[in-house]
Structure 1
Amino acid sequence: MFTGIIEATARVQESGNGCLSIERPKAFSDIRIGNSIAVAGVCLTIKKLNKKCIQFDVVSETLRRTTLGLYKEGDTVNLERAMKADGRLDGHIVQGHVEGIGEVVSVSTSSPRPPPPENRPYPSIPRPLPPREEGGAQNNGWIKESTPKNILLYARTMRKNPTEAEEVLWKRLRNDALGARFRRQYPLGGRILDFYAPIIRLGIEVDGGIHLTKEAQEDDSFRSQYLADDHHVSILRFSNKEILEHTNHVVSKINAYIQKHTHSLPPVEEGLGMEGPRVEMNIAVPSALLQNIIPKGSITIDGVSLTVAHIQDNEISIALIPHTIENTTLGILQKGDQVNIETDILARYAQKQKA
C-alpha cells in the first residue's frame, strides 16, 4: 500500500522487452529485492538492484493498462516506497493498481499573465527563451507560457547541485527568514532564476566568473530588462565573491529591498500561502471510472495523491501547488500527455456495496 506522497523522481535507464530499469535514488538505501515500489503510480516488485539501478519485470497486462510502455531512456518517473504500518498517511490509500489512462486536456495558471505596457510590444527573445507563439493573446488577456520540459528538468538538476555561494545564500533566505518566501532555481520566461520570491516579484542572480566578460554582462543586462518589461520582475545581482566574503552585506541589501516592497502588499488569500497562483490542470478520464470520482474526493495521477476540484462531463480539474510542481513529474506535463489514473479505493468499495 502507498500514500500518494512522492518520495523521489528518477530517470529511466532502460525500457522494453518486459523490463524496466530506473536510477536508484540515494534515499532508497533500505530497499531489497522483492520490495514493492510505486513507479508513476504502478506497483512493481524489485527484481534486481545495485547501488545505481533498480530493475522490475513488467507484464503485458500492466503495459496495456498503464503508461509504462511509453517511457523511454531518459524520461523521469515518480517513485514511492511501500508505506510502513506505523507511518503517517499524509495522502490517501493508494494500491498502485492503475485502472486506466487519462489525457491532459489543458494546463493553466489561476492568475492571468499581466498585459504588456501600452504601446510597448515585448522585446524579441533570444535563445534559449521560448518563442513568442507560446504565449499569445487570448480573450483580451494573456495566457501562461508553457515551460519546456528540458528547462524544468535542468532547474531540478541545478537545485540538487548548488554552487557554494548559492548554498551559503540559501541558508540565509530559506524558511521565510527575511519575511518573504524564496524558491530556488525558478524557471521564468525561458530562463532559470537562482532565487525568486513570487510575492514581491524579486529575482536574485548569483554570478560566477563567466559573467565577467563583456558579452555575458550585455546578456545579463538584456535578460534583466526583459524580465522587468515582460514579467514585472526586479533582479538583484551578486557575485560569488560578494556572497562568500561579505554575506551579511549581501543579506542586508536583500532585506532592505524586501522591507521596502512588502509594507503595502495586500493580505494573502487564505489557502494560497505566500506562493500565490497555483497551476490548474484538466484531465480526461475513462468514462468507466467516473462513477468512483467525486468533487473534493481523492484521486491518484501518476502516483501523486490529489484532490478533485471539479468534474465536467468526462474531465476532472485538479490544482497543483508549487511543492507538487517542483518535486513530481506533474510539473512538466503538457496538453496531450497521458497519465496513469487510480480512483479512491474507498469510493470503489462504496460503489460496489451500492450495486
Structure 2
Amino acid sequence: MFTGIIEEVGTVRKIGGGTLAIDATKVIEDVHLGDSIAVNGVCLTVTSFDREHFEADVMPETVRRTSFAELRKGSPVNLERALTLASRLGGHIVSGHIDGVGTVTDLQREGNALLLKVAASPALLRGIVEKGSVALDGISLTVAAVTAADFTVSLIPHTREVTNLRVKRAGSRLNIETDIIGKYVEKLMATKDAGQTAAPEAAGGITPAFLARYGF
C-alpha cells in the first residue's frame, strides 16, 4: 500500500524480456529483495538491486493495462516505497493496482497553478469525483473538475518539479488509480441495489477476509 507522495524520480535503465531496471538512489537506501516499490503508480516487487538501481519483473498483463508499453531507456518514472506503520499518510490510500490509462488533452496556466485535463473512459470517470482523490502515475492529486469525457487536476509548482509530470504534454498517457474507498462504496451500493444479502464482512465492517477478497 502507498500514499501517492513521490519520493524520487528514477530513470529507466532498460525494459524488455519481462524485466524493468530503474536507476534510483533514495528508494533503494534500505531496500530488500521482495520489497514493493510503486513505479508510475504500479506496485512492483524488487527482484534484484545494487547501490545504483533495482530490477523488477513485469508481466505482459501489466504492460497491457498500463502505460509501461511507452517506457524507453531514459524515461523518468515516479517512485515510492510501500507504506509502513511508521509512515505519515500525506496523500491518500493508493493500492498500486492501476484501473486504466488516461490521456492528457490540455494544460493551462492559472496563476501559479497548472490545470491538467485528462480524458478517460466512462468506467474510470464513474470512480472520479470533484474534490475527491485520484492517483496519476502514482501521484496523489485532488480532482478540480469532472465532465462526461474528462477530469481536471490542479498542479502546484512543487508537484511538477518533483515528479515526472514536468515532462508531460498533450497526448501523454498516464496511469490512473481511482480512490479505493469509492470502489468499496460502489460495491456495497451495487449489492444493496441488487437486493442481495449483505456479506457477513460487509455487515460487520472491514475484516481481514474482506481485505483479502479485494487484493490486500
Cα distance in 2 between the residues matched to 1:290 and 1:10: 29
Q: 1:98 Cα deviation (Å)?
A: 0.4
Deviations 1:284-314 (A, max 9, x none): 1121112211100000000000000000112
- 1:302 matched to 2:137: yes
For 1:338, the aligned partner's letter is R
Residue 186 of structure 2 aligns with an amino acid whose one-letter code is Q
What amino acid does structure 2 have at the position aligned with 1:5? I
Alignment of 1:165-314 (within 5 A): 277-314=112-149
| Corresponding letter in the other structure for 1:4 | G
- Rg larger in 1 or in 2? 1
Measured against aligned partners, the alpha-carbon deviations of 1:32-88 in whole angstroms (never above 9, x if no partner) come to 110000000000000111111100100011001001121000110000000111211
1:1-355 to 2 correspondences below 5 Å:
1-26=1-26, 28-111=28-111, 277-355=112-190
Q: Percent identity?
A: 43
1:27 positional shift: 5.2
SS in 2 for 1:296: coil
Classify the secondary structure of the residue corresponding to 2:62.
helix
For 1:70 and 1:332, locate their aligned partners in 2 and report how far apart those are by CA, in whole Å. 14
Matching residue of 1:195: none
Task: Verify the 8 A CA contact 1:46 1:56 in the aligned structure 2.
Answer: yes
Alpha-carbon distance between aligned partners in 2 of 1:24 and 1:283, rounded to the nearest angstrom: 28
Distance 2:34 2:141 in 1: 28
- 1:36 and 1:284 map into 2 onto residues whose CA distance is 29
Amino acid at match of 2:132: G
**Over residues 103-162 of structure 1, what are the superposed CA-to-partner deviations in whole Å (9 max), with x where a residue is unaligned?**
000011014xxxxxxxxxxxxxxxxxxxxxxxxxxxxxxxxxxxxxxxxxxxxxxxxxxx
Q: Secondary structure at the match of 1:6?
A: coil
Asked if structure 1 preserves the Cα contact closer than 8 Å seen for 2:66 and 2:100, the reply is yes
The alignment of Structure 1 onto Structure 2 pairs a total of residues equal to 190
Asked if the contact 1:15–1:69 (Cα under 8 Å) also holds between the matched residues in 2, the reply is no
Secondary structure at the aligned position of 1:97 is classed as: coil
**Distance in 2 separating the partners of 1:55 and 1:27:** 12
Task: Answer whether contact 1:98 1:341 (CA < 8 A) is retained.
Answer: yes
Greater fraction of residues in helix: 1
- Check whether the contact 2:118–2:151 (CA below 8 A) recurs between aligned residues: yes
Separation of aligned partners in 1, 2:34 and 2:24: 15
Residues 226-251 of structure 1 deviation map (CA, whole Å, 9 limit, x = unaligned): xxxxxxxxxxxxxxxxxxxxxxxxxx
Structure 1 outlier segments of 4+, above 4 Å: none
Aligned CA-pair RMSD: 0.9
CA shift, 1:278, in A, is 0.4
| Structure 1 spans left out of the alignment, 5+ residues | 112-276
TM-score by length of 1: 0.53
- Kept in 2, the 8 Å contact 1:37–1:80? The answer is yes
Mapped partners of 2:181, 2:102: distance in 1: 20
More strand by share: 2
